Amino acid sequence: MNIKFSLLILAVIITASTFYYTQNLVNELEDSEKEIVQLYANSLEFIAGSTSNSNEDFTFIFENIIKRINFPLILTDKDSNPLLNSTGSGLKNIEIDSTLSESDVKKFIKEKIQELKKINAPIDVLYTDVRGNEQIFGKIYFGNSNIIQKLQYYPFLQILFAFFFITIAYISFSYLKKTEQSNIWVGMAKEIAHQLGTPISSLMGWTELLKLKLSKPNEVLNVAHEMESDLSRLNKITNRFSKIGSKPNLKDKNLVEVIASVLLYFEKRLPQTGKDVTLIFPENPPINLMLNPELFEWVIENLLKNAIDAIGNRKGKIKISIKETEKQVEIEVADNGKGISNKNKKDIFKPGYSTKSRGWGLGLSLSKRIIEDYHQGKLLLKNSIVDEGTTFQIIMKK
């Protein structure tokens, strides 16, 4: 709804500003042409008053005034009869069909006079009689030049283009919105499947192991404990998705312990996946931050799963390192997997983006939102080189 309103406001602003600017320009040009007509009238008055001196040179008037007239103009007597043989010519920029008879030409010119009269009021050509009184001896009817006529239609063309632009923009925004929504739903479905995949696979593995350990009560208890851990994780996943979209409750937690608990869970279950991956987490002193532990664990899990998938079937390692400064804490998750190509780097945080057939439709997008919107931190792709590895960085304020 906001996009529709914004586009409507933009269209109104474009239309109003275009119309205002063009109208001012047209008015200025009309005033300029009216001044030229007035000069022409004054010139005719001057010529009329100078008939006694036949030696006067009127070249300046013809060169600098009459030749500047680039709009339709008809000179008439005081009764609006055209003066076709008057000084300076009674017609300017009026196209007359050469096949017309003399009577048809006069009729055409009279119709043209009425047409010009509707566009601009005629300017009177005056002279002073022997008694000193001003008398009208002619009138000048004139229209608008081609450039004014074109400018008068320009706002409508601009409005048409603005409407076309707004329509295209609206269709594009609608398409992008639908595409994003579709990507989010697809991504959410993939992410749920991906989140549930690990504990469900583990439970299936523990079930098979339980059948083999029935004769060993102590080992059965260990398996039951791990099954309980996976069931607890399923409940935690449910709570995570319920927190998306609501304001999280941040608590003062030991960051090192939160990360260590996630690594411990993965270390016990990696052998079941058939992956030859070593998790490295150097010893760190306690670092307390305001966290939502369930959501922050989700971010670490997503980054670990992404790294494990990137390593594939090769022998790999994932290292999580923590660097504490006076104002912030930096967490890096580095792997020696296949890396991310340059063309994909700009898309990895977009909802629904994935290069795999399952999972990771929303993992990085949700992780970025959890860190940046809920914890006011930053999640960045620090570096990635194809066939060498990738490093993600989380920056948290203290």
* Half-sphere exposure for 116 (CA within 13 Å, toward CB): 28
pLDDT for the residue numbered 255? 96
Fold designation for 170-246: Helix Hairpins (1.10.287)
Question: Is residue 385 within 8 Å of 336, Cβ to Cβ?
Answer: no
The vertex-337 CA angle with 262 and 361, nearest 5°, equals 65
- Phi first, then psi: give them for residue 126, nearest 5 degrees: -110, 160
Closest of 393, 350, 395 to residue 375, by C-alpha? 395
Find the mean pLDDT for residues 238-253: 74
Whole-number Å distance between alpha carbons of 114 and 80: 10
Q: What is the pLDDT of residue 135?
A: 84
Q: Do residues 359 and 191 touch, judged by C-beta distance below 8 A?
A: yes
Largest CA distance in the chain: 141
Q: How confident is the model at residue 86 (pLDDT cuts 50, 70, 90)?
A: very low
Q: Which range has highest mean pLDDT (57-61, 94-98, 148-152, 379-383)?
A: 379-383
Distance CA 209, CA 215 (A): 12
Segment 66-89 shows an average pLDDT of 75
Q: Is the pLDDT of residue 209 over 80?
A: no
DSSP for 349-386, written as a single string = TSTT--SSSSS-SSHHHHHHHIIIIISS-EEEEEEEET
Average pLDDT over residues 210-224: 67
Residue type, 254: N
Give the residue extent of every domain in the chain: 3-144, 170-246, 247-397
CB atoms within 10 A of CB 25: 14
* DSSP 3-state of 226: helix
How many alpha carbons fall within 13 Å on the CB side of residue 96? Answer: 19
Work out the mean pLDDT of the chain and round it to a whole number: 79
Neighbours of 319 (CB within 10 A): 17
Of 188, 191, 234, 376, nearest in space to 292 by CA: 376
Helix locations, the chain, DSSP H? 2-48, 59-64, 102-119, 146-212, 217-243, 255-273, 293-311, 342-345, 363-369
According to the per-residue pLDDT averaged within each range, which of 81-85, 106-110, 165-169, 326-330 is highest? Answer: 326-330
pLDDT tens by residue, 132-154: 788 888 888 998 888 887 777 77
**pLDDT band (50, 70, 90) for residue 248:** confident
Least reliable range by pLDDT among 26-35, 120-129, 187-196, 250-259:
187-196
Q: Judge whether residue 66 has pLDDT over 60.
A: yes
Other beta carbons less than 10 A from residue 35's beta carbon: 10
Gyration radius of the chain over CA positions: 43
Predicted pLDDT of residue 360: 43
As a whole number of angstroms, the distance between CA 353 and CA 219 comes to: 42
Weakest-pLDDT range from 5-19, 26-40, 123-137, 318-332: 5-19
**Residue 86: both structure tokens together:** 């008057």
Kindly report, residue by residue over 258-292, the tens digit of the pLDDT.
999 999 888 877 877 778 899 999 999 999 999 99
Residue 337: its pLDDT value, please? 92
Residue whose C-alpha is closest to residue 349's, from 380, 395, 308, 393: 380
Q: At the top level of CATH, which class does the domain 247-397 belong to?
A: alpha beta
The SS3 assignment for 213 reads: coil
Of 128-132, 194-198, 226-230, the range with the lowest mean pLDDT is 194-198
Lowest mean pLDDT among 237-246, 306-315, 389-398: 237-246
pLDDT in tens, 311-370: 988 889 999 999 999 999 999 999 999 999 988 888 888 766 666 544 444 678 888 988
